[in-house]
Structure 1
Amino acid sequence: MSDTALTIGKAMGAVALVLVSAVAYAPAKAAVRICEAPVSSGPVIGSTEQEARKKALDSWKFKALQHGEPYGSWRLAADKLFTCLPRKEGGFECLARGNPCTIEQAPARRELRQKRLGV
């Protein structure tokens, strides 16, 4: 290989390194899960297991929404417990329990510092 080709190759490598470094330096943002006190559907009865499950989740969601719209997702809930059992009288009884949670962006350190200093 010629000296010119090596010099061009080194220059291209340096440019690529600078570009990658610039992209990699972009500040990262973190999301935080914020949870409330546990919410329970209470025992819910349905003629089928599917019906009882739906009623239990609907009841849990209704109660979780008391904390605000962002808290109504069972998928985001923490410490979940969901159980269904057949009843002697027929049908099923289900219970859904979990801490309703939401996801929020964590404030940047600069914002927190400015709040703390009253700026």
Structure 2
Amino acid sequence: MSVRTTPRSAAMSVLILALLAGEAAAGKYCGDPIESGRASGATQEEALIAAQKWWSSRAGALGKGYEHWDNAADQSMDCTQDGQGTFHCKASGRPCLPDGTLPDNLPKLDL
């Protein structure tokens, strides 16, 4: 069986591999920004933890590895306290895989 490669398909394969290698070498694979809901707690720390857990559950829908708040890019946490003393926090950030980790859903290449 012989495999015939046209110059165009060879060039496309090289380009795709270079892009994938460049992204992996450049650092993390990140998704679009995700926000938690408005989490509440008796203390600001409780509300922060609840907001991070909520964010993690949403980010985890992207796939294994995206759910870790510590790997998120563009992290922000917005907290307020209402008149009754309850704290409310909302977490937002771009879920990212750890450096050097490739996503499970990379497109397959026919070479």
**TM-score relative to the length of structure 2:** 0.64
The equivalent residue for 1:59 is 54
Query: Shift of residue 31 of structure 1?
Result: 5.8
Query: Shift of residue 104 of structure 1?
Result: 5.4
- Cα distance in structure 2, aligned partners of 1:71 and 1:54: 17
Structure number with larger C-alpha Rg: 1
Written as runs of structure 1 = structure 2, the 5 A alignment for 1:98-113 is: 98-103=93-98, 105=100
Query: Shift of residue 32 of structure 1?
Result: 2.6
The equivalent residue for 1:5 is none
Runs of 4+ that moved beyond 4 A: none
- Cα distance in structure 2, aligned partners of 1:36 and 1:53: 22
Q: Secondary structure at the match of 1:33?
A: coil
- Cα distance in structure 1, aligned partners of 2:101 and 2:53: 30
Superposition CA RMSD, Å? 2.4
Residue identity over aligned pairs, in percent, reads 33
More helix per residue: 1 or 2? 1
More strand per residue: 1 or 2? 1
Structure 1 residues without counterparts, runs of 5 or longer = 1-28, 108-114
Q: Secondary structure at the match of 2:92?
A: strand
**TM-score relative to the length of structure 1:** 0.60
Count of paired positions = 82
Structure 2 residues without counterparts, runs of 5 or longer = 1-23, 103-108
- Match for 1:82 among 77, 82, 106? 77
Q: Establish whether residue 91 from structure 1 lines up as the match of residue 89 from structure 2.
A: no
